[in-house]
Structure 1
Amino acid sequence: MTEVIATMAGNVWKVLVKEGDQVEEGQDVVILESMKMEIPIAAEVSGTVQSVKIEEGGFVNEEEVLLIVE
């Protein structure tokens, strides 16, 4: 189990995957918006998305878990 975490605080602009999706290492899975910039967050491992912990339009803090890949 690997947690994908936010690298900075910001608004969740877009969630690019859903539970059950297969992802590859380095694939963008979430896009955060901070200071009018779009920041892509990538999966650190290949696997299946087990749980999405956030919603589009929500706010996340730095180090917050965005989703879980197994």
Structure 2
Amino acid sequence: MTEVKASMAGSVWKVVAAQGDSITSGQDLVILESMKMEIPIPAEADGTVKELKVNEGDFVNEGDVIAIIE
């Protein structure tokens, strides 16, 4: 199990992956918006998205868990 965490504080601009999706390491899961910049948050491992913990419009802080990959 791998927890994907936010690299910085910001708003969830777009959720790219869905629960149950097969993903590869480096594939974007969500895109954060911070200071008018878009910051992609990639998967850190190959696997399946077990759970997405954010929705579009949510605010996350640095270190918050965004998704769980198995």
TM (norm. structure 2) is 0.98
Which runs of 4 or more aligned residues in structure 1 lie more than 2 Å from their structure 2 counterparts after TM superposition?
none
Listed one character per residue, the Cα deviations across residues 24-70 of structure 1 (whole Å, up to 9, x for unaligned) are 00111110000000000100100000000001001000000000000
Q: Secondary structure at the match of 2:20?
A: coil
TM-score normalized with structure 1 length: 0.98
How many percent identity over aligned positions?
A: 63
Counterparts of 1:1-70 in structure 2 under 5 Å? Answer: 1-70=1-70
> Any unmatched runs of 5+ in structure 2?
none
Unmatched runs of 5 consecutive residues or more in structure 1: none
1:12 shift after superposition: 0.2
Q: How big is the alpha-carbon RMSD for the aligned residues of Structure 1 and Structure 2?
A: 0.4
